[in-house]
Structure formats: structure tokens, C-alpha cells
Amino acid sequence: MSSALKGPVTRRQFVTSSTAAIFASSLAGAVPLSQMSARDGEGGKSRVIIDTDPGVDDAFALLLAMRSPELKIEAITPVAGNVPLELTLPNALRMVEIAGRTDIPVAAGAKGPWLRRLVTATYAHGENGLGGAVFPEPTTQPVSEPAAQLIGQIVRKYPGEVTLITIGPLTNIAAALAADSDLAGKVRGLVMMGGSLSGGNITPAAEFNIYVDPEAARMVFQSGIPITMVGLDVTRKTALTDDHVRQLSAGKSPVSQAAAKIASKAIEHNRSQGFLVGPNMHDSLALAAFLDPSILTFENYYVDVEVNGELTAGQTLGYSPNRGDLRRTPEMQAKAESSMVIRGAAPTLAGTRISPVLRDKYVPNTRVALQLDSSRFFNLLIGRLSS
């Protein structure tokens, strides 16, 4: 993973050295990066840790993951987000029991964001986080280690092998990274449900997971870990329908039945709020992106997170020299890459400096999912859950 780094590195240099090499290979087009796929693992299995805040779509994602034989789920680490940890932790344990996978360690994570008061999304996920669907109290216990510690232990045990699949606020991940400055270089990659380059949900600017803990998100985007961002740009196209519920109800397994129950309650909850479309399966799409990247197309960006803005805190900003009005001919693309700079806001006074206020060199740190084949996604999701 850490390709030939010339001597000791700053946190910044992690970005320029280790990720530049990976992204250089994908500059030409939408070839999915092999490190970012479940199919590339040792002996056909990929080691993953799933960080989650169940959450309706989290629950689906967990069930999908536990129904995916190509994944070796090393741990599930709940975090506060959609609902408080007091609910996300037992909800995760419930899913593990329903899937008959109590071999997977579940480690309790953070009760709240790094620096902000927890904002939850019960308007979307119901008071209990599962759309109001009731399941028995779990009997399985979480492990004694806190999530951040367990993440560090597992990544250090399998350097270069573990992909972090993050489908909640990034509070736990940032804690694991901050505690061990060598950890980022040992993570194989990170696939997140989070962010958006096309407007937010909880605010016009921000997607919920990043909004809840913008500081943690910035720490992750600045860590140098190669990131696959599955954001609202594509997850808006994953609305659950009554037809999906029918298919799931027809499945015989406890997983299928549980998914059908959650789905139907979630749709009902959505309708009762007056929403016109069903709940989106954001987090399952992040899992699917890792299982089969070919259902999506990706573009490389330098992504950073707004932490200040009165109106925009939690917004993900994607810089690319070859998008929108900046698009160039293929011959000029490479030149554009090397000359692009990342600007900050213009200073308020016309001072002596007339050059742009530079924040950073342009080095892509994220491949962002921009297009989705939703029917292929649902075939994968419903297919695996109901089989």
C-alpha cells in the first residue's frame, strides 16, 4: 500500500506519495481501481471493517454484507449518528443475530461527534433507528475494546489488507487514525457512504454523515487513505419501493424476513411524513460499490470538508481540473492536473498579496461515484437478501 515513500513523511506527504501512485493509473478513465474491489482479496475474500449507525439503510447494508461470501468481516463498529449509540449498538447486534453471524466482533464506538453536539435523523429512521420495526433485545455482547482501539488492532494485524467501509459519521475512524500516526498508511482503502458534490440532504450544503462530524471527516479526507466516496450524487437513486418489499417477503430466510419488515415499516414511516419517494438505501450502495464497482462510474477529485461555514459546515468540496467548464482535450488534461491549485476564500482586504490564496497542491485523494445503474444495484441487493 505505502508505495516507495522517500524517507519520513508528513501527514500531507501521505497524500502526495501513496495516493498519487494509485490515482495516476486511473487518470485515463473510469477503470475501477482494483484495490477498491472485494474481488481482489486474498483467496477471494476481502477483509473489511464496517463502521455504522443503524439506521434503516445501515441495517440493510449490514445484512447485505453478511450475505456476501467474498467479504471477511473483521469487525462491526457502531457509532452515534442516525440515532444515539444507545440504539445503534443494539441495532447492530440485532442484525448480527438475525444473520446468524455472532462470530463477528461488535465494538462500541463514539457516543457523539468530536467537537459538536449530536444531531440525529429520527425523522428518517424512526425513533428506534429501524423505521419503527421492532426486534427482540439482542443477547450478544459487544467486545470490551472501544471501536477505535479495535480498528487499530485489526489494521495493524493485517497491514495493507483491510478496507474500511464507513456508512455513518466518521467519528470512530478519526479516533483510530489520530491515535496512531502510522495507521493510515496500513489501511488498504476506505469506501464511504457520505458527502455530496451536488447538494446536501440535512442542509442544502451537507450530507448527513459529514454534517454530523465535519472535523472527523476532514481528518479522514486529509489522512492519505485512498477513498471511494459514494455520496448523495448516486444514492438519491436508490429509493425503496413496495415491490422490493414484496420480493423480500417472498424470501424464506430470517434475513429476508427481517429486511422485509424493516423496509415496509420504513416506507410507511416515510409516507406518514408526507414524502413522495421511498427511503433511499444509501449505505447499501456503499457496500455494493465495494462488491461490484462496475454498477457505478467514478471520477477522481481532491475532496476537502468545510468545517467553519455558518451555513455550509459539513459540505464536501470536490476539486478537479477536468470537470464542468474546466474540461479540456485529452492532450491538455495532464497539463491541467499538474497546474491546478486548490484555492481558499479570497482575503477580505485588498492587501499586498495579489496571487491566489493557495490551500494545497492538487492531488486527487478520492474517487467519487457519479453515475449509477440502479436496476443492477437492486438486483444485487434484493437478490442477495432474499436468496
Partner 1 sequence: MKPRSFVGLLVVFFALTLTAQLQAQKMKIILDQDARGPATTDMQSLLIFLQSDKFDVLGITTVSGDQWMKEETQRTLRLLEIAGRTDVPVAEGALFPLLNSKEESERWEDLYGKLGYKGCWSDFSKRAHVSEAYKAGYHDPLVVPALVEGEPHIKPIAESAAEFIVRMVYKYPGEVVIWAGGPMTNIALALRLDPAVATLAKELVLMGSGMYSDKGGIDRIDGRREFNWWFDPEAVRISLRAPWKKITITPIDISVKTNLGKEIHDAIAKADTPVAQYLTKYSEPSFMWDELSAAALIDPFIITGQKEFYVDIDIDHGPSYGETLFWGSEATVPPYEHKATVQFDVDTKKLYDLYVKLMTQAPRTN
Q: Which residues are catalytic?
A: 282
CB of 79 to partner 1, least distance (A): 12
Nearer to partner 1, 11 or 328 (CB): 11
CB of 11 to partner 1, least distance (A): 5
Nearer to partner 1, 180 or 268 (CB): 180
Nearer to partner 1, 144 or 273 (CB): 144
HEC string of 150-170 equals HHHHHHHHCCCCEEEEECCCC
Nearer to partner 1, 153 or 333 (CB): 153
CB of 8 to partner 1, least distance (A): 3
Contact criterion met (CB below 8 Å) for 367 and 36: yes
Report the distance separating Cα 374 and Cα 241, nearest Å: 13
In the complex, the residues that contact partner 1 under the rule CB under 8 A are 7-12, 110-111, 114-115, 146, 148-149, 175, 178-181, 215, 218-219, 222, 307-308, 344, 347, 353, 357-360
Nearer to partner 1, 110 or 382 (CB): 110
Report the distance separating Cα 68 and Cα 39, nearest Å: 11
CB of 182 to partner 1, least distance (A): 9
Q: What is the number of residues in the chain?
A: 387
Report the distance separating Cα 371 and Cα 231, nearest Å: 11
CB of 115 to partner 1, least distance (A): 6
Contact criterion met (CB below 8 Å) for 356 and 319: no
Dihedral (Cα; 265, 133, 72, 163), 10-degree rounding: 70
Alpha helices, DSSP H only, in the chain?
Answer: 11-14, 20-24, 56-66, 85-98, 122-125, 147-157, 171-179, 208-212, 214-221, 232-235, 242-250, 254-272, 282-291, 330-339, 374-386
Which residue, chain included where needed, has cell 413522495?
276
